[in-house]
Structure 1
Amino acid sequence: MQPAIGKPSFFRNILVRLLLFGVFIIVVRFAYIVTITGESCNRGDFCFFSLPENLNLVIANAGPSVSAIFGSDAVSRSNNPRLDLYTSKDWIKAVNYYSSVFQDLISQGYLSPNSKSLCVETPSGQEVFALKEIGVKNSIGIFKKASKPLVISGEGHRIPFANNTFDFIFSGGARLDKSAWPSEFAFEITRTLKPEGFLVAHVKAKDKYSFNSFLDFFDSCELVKMRHIDGFDSSLPYIREIVMKKKGEIPEHGDNNPGGDSDNECTVPEHKRDLIRNAEPLITEEPLKPWITLKRNIQNIKYLPSMVDISFRSRYVYVDVGARSYGSSIGSWFRKQYPKQNRTFGIYAIEADRTFHEEYALKKKVTLLPYAAWIRNETLSFEVNSDPTHPGLEDVKDKGRGMGRIQPKMSTGYVVDGEVDEIQGFDFAEWLKNTVTEKDFVVMKMDVEGTEFDLIPRLFETGAICLIDEIFLECHYNRWQRCCPGQRSTKYEKTYGQCLDLFTSLRESGVLVHQWW
């Protein structure tokens, strides 16, 4: 008689299916935790490949400084594949480096074992590990992708903690340099730092300009100390360690003061004045052939970004006053030749001549202001010469269009030689104060057919001049004519000497201005 095997086979199949289903659940759970949520697993998540919360990690050959206590169970590398990260040479080197940094800060009184500490944008948590190693146990790090127990999910511009949480915040690896939101990054750090708490940042900031730009972000903190130190690796061979102390409560985000003080006074800081000494010299003698001399001088210009690091600015803005067509300077010069240090600039084109307005509708990354930059808001007469005499127009596609300008109040006998339209003028200085702040990097090109003698004084009067980092100014005067040797232009009443005085006054005030053509 054959034995009955139907029921055992049935139950065995059920058990196998249940086992396979359990394995499937574990795999799905692991994939969800790691790849979808961006979190690292723990045993409660059905994962067996993460660093346990109760780990006593002893790193071989790392020296006595690297032995952090997470718990009471010793775990070997063979039992936990992820320990490869925590015992790699690079990771150990980083831990030793930051341990030394933090020990120095403890000895100087900026950090203590009782400090509640945060490390911002730390991918693998070396800084947090180093803090715990030297006895600062209440420490945590944040990064976009968490790596528990050292690092939880968070970003520098969105720190997931309440106001006034930490006694000590550290930003290493020059990470603030690389942030796409440096202003928000700085705000979040000062928001979560306790009053009288310390911020320590490692930044490149090679020159005075970038160093002071960095300090401007932290206007609710005071500078305590700065020193030059060796970086962690060859990618950061030289950095500044900056120690700052929070003075008190900070205002709500967005309560900045565009344009500086309400009394319209401003002072150009010394680090900006230093740039003038490195700028190309002004042409002091009036050129007999300005269409050659001034145009060639453009090759001598020392652009601000070629002299300093322009990191640590909230935004980057280019304002073209008297833009004409897109190809006149925005497309042909600024976007192709101006050294931007890989920064994305917002562009404003200010042009009153209606002839050029339509093409800007197709330029999505340019904001057109179809008005005339002026010293107040009012309706103006706008004259366009019928015969363009502007040297250099042969290089652009709008050469058949005369140069437009606000119709000047000329002496008796002034003859209009072109069409005249009514256009809207606006207070350019006030617009600038409402559009940008001192934390922005602002470049301006001004070609306004003589109106510069009205606009520049207005920029000084309102304090808006301090908002501009670099100016490319074309000054219009009764220059010698290319067409007619021995004759001067009757279009402008100003002299070359008056133009030179305008450039000189700007530079003496600390404004980096270049003679443009």
Structure 2
Amino acid sequence: MFVHFHATMKAAKTIPSVLKYFLIISVYLLLFVSLQNRRSKTLLSATTNHTSSSSSSAVDSSDDLKIRHGYTNYDAYIQRQLNKTLNPKLRKIWTTRDWDRKIKVFSRFFDELKRENLLSNSSKSLSIGARVGQEVEALKRVGVTDAIGIDLVPFPPLVVKGDFHNQPFHNDTFDFEFSNVFDHALYPKKFVAEIERTLKPDGVCILHVALSRRGDKYSANDLYSIKPLSKLFRRSELVRVRKVDGFGLDTEVVFRKKETIQRS
């Protein structure tokens, strides 16, 4: 391009000044268009690579598990979750009129799990997405004293600050993990991987989920069967599935982490 430009400028000396001016302007325009085209291709390539990288970090949507779109970045997703967790009206409800009611329901769930030997008083337990800690308090009331919850907003002494996509705990920490916020996971694959990382071998994970219906406006995914969960829990075996009435969630899914990792 620049060789042609110099050649054109040399030839321009032999033609009238008006034509010379027009020729120079035309060459500059061609240079500008060429550079813009190169810049556009570079930006398109970078955007495509970034999108591919972001998509690969989450489980692909399928007929039975659909990831909701609309989040421009992870900070936007976190801020949306905080909008619910920090809502003063909701927090007042969770700590007053909902407090005893939810503790009673969770206590019945946990008592039944104890009778099935899926939970014991000596189980080191974690509640994921615990908000103000009703599940944690229920565990303590049924005799599981070593229990803690995590949420984006802490609620001492029952709940510590933590992102369930990146749990703030060491590997093989807990005997028992419970969550009823799977639908809030933007990256279900990472959500489950963190459970299996922090769960001890032979440890138990209980999920309460809603099947065949959309969650609330803060949900990041919609689940329509347990098949995706079975695929996500690669280091665990499915123990059982049953119907429950868990504050809008209708299905309880139980997984037990395998004692040894099977190499594929």
Query: TM (normalized to structure 1)?
Result: 0.30
Look up the match of 1:457. Answer: none
Residue 132 (structure 1) aligns with: 140
TM superposition shift of 1:219: 1.4
Distance 1:86 1:205, change over 3 A: closer
After the TM superposition, which residues 117-196 of structure 1 pair with which residues of structure 2 at under 5 Å, given as runs?
A: 117-172=125-180, 175-196=181-202
Q: Deviations over 1:164-205 (max 9, x none)?
A: 000000012xx1122111110000000000000100000113
Partner of 2:232: 217
Residue 114 of structure 2, aligned match among 91, 103, 106? 106
Work out the CA distance in 2 between the residues paired with 1:246 and 1:125: 25
CA distance in 1: counterparts of 2:103 and 2:116, whole angstroms: 20
What CA distance in whole angstroms lies between the structure 2 residues aligned with 1:179 and 1:250? 25
Q: What secondary structure, in the 3-state scheme, does the structure 1 residue paired with 2:225 have?
A: helix
**1:204 and 2:215 matched:** no
Q: Is the 8 A contact 1:118 1:166 kept in 2?
A: yes
Q: Is the 8 A contact 1:125 1:151 kept in 2?
A: yes
Q: Which amino acid aligns with 1:143?
A: D
Q: Which residue of 1 aligns with 2:253?
A: 242
* 2:124 is the alignment partner of 1:116: yes
1:89-123 Cα shifts (integer Å, max 9, x gaps) = 21111111101110010011000000000000111
Cα offset for 1:86?
7.3
TM-score (norm 2): 0.58
8 Å CA contact 1:206, 1:239 repeated in 2: no
Distance 2:183 2:233 in 1: 14
Amino acid corresponding to residue 227 of structure 1 in structure 2: R
In structure 2, C-alpha distance between the alignment counterparts of 1:101 and 1:171, rounded to whole Å: 12
Q: How does 1:37-436 map to 2 (within 5 A)?
A: 88-172=96-180, 175-206=181-212, 210-232=225-247, 236=248, 238-249=249-260
**Amino acid of the residue matched to residue 119 of structure 2?**
L
Shift of the 206–249 alpha-carbon distance from structure 1 to 2, 3 Å rule, reads farther
Counterpart residue type for residue 255 of structure 2: M
| 3-state SS, counterpart of residue 158 of structure 1 | coil
- Give the secondary structure class of the aligned counterpart of 1:95: helix
Separation in structure 1 between the aligned mates of residue 95 and residue 253 of structure 2, nearest angstrom: 30
Displacement of 1:242 in angstroms is: 0.6
Paired residue type of 1:152: V
Q: Which runs of 5+ in 1 are unaligned?
A: 1-37, 39-82, 256-260, 262-517
Amino acid at match of 1:89: R
CA distance in 2 between counterparts of 1:87 and 1:189 reads 27
Q: Do the aligned partners of residues 205 and 86 (structure 1) sit closer, same or farther apart at CA in structure 2, a change above 3 Å counting?
A: closer
Aligned AA for 1:187? Answer: A
- The structure where helix makes up a greater share of residues is 2
CA contact (8 A) 1:191 1:250 kept: no
Structure showing greater relative contact order (alpha-carbon pairs closer than 8 Å, 6 or more residues apart):
2
Give the percent of matched residue pairs that are identical in Structure 1 and Structure 2: 40
Give the superposition deviation at 1:250.
5.3
Instruction: Give, in whole Å, the separation in 2 of the partners of 1:209 and 1:124.
Output: 28
Matched residues, number: 166
Change (3 A) 1:153 1:87: closer
Give yes or no for contact 1:190–1:250 (8 Å, CA) kept in 2: no
8 Å contact 2:106–2:135 — kept in the other structure?
Answer: yes
On the 8 A contact 1:203/1:239 being kept in 2, the answer is yes
Structure 1 residues 179, 107: closer, same or farther in 2, change over 3 A?
A: same
- Residues 293-332 of structure 1, C-alpha deviations (whole Å, 9 max, x = no match): xxxxxxxxxxxxxxxxxxxxxxxxxxxxxxxxxxxxxxxx
Structure 1 residue 124 displacement after superposition: 0.8
Asked if structure 1 preserves the Cα contact closer than 8 Å seen for 2:95 and 2:132, the reply is: no
Give the Cα–Cα distance (whole angstroms) in 1 for the partners of residues 196 and 211 of structure 2.
20
Task: Give the secondary structure class of the aligned counterpart of 2:145.
Answer: coil
1:122 alignment partner, SS class: coil
Gaps of 5+ in 2: 1-81, 83-90, 214-222
Name the CA shift for 1:250/1:176 in 2 (closer, same or farther; >3 Å): farther
Distance 2:146 2:127 in 1: 11
Note the C-alpha offset of 1:206: 3.3
SS of 2:192's equivalent? helix
**AA aligned opposite 2:256:** K
SS of structure 1 residue aligned to 2:227: helix
Residue 249 and residue 147 in structure 1: after superposition, are their counterparts in 2 closer, same or farther (change >3 A)?
Answer: farther
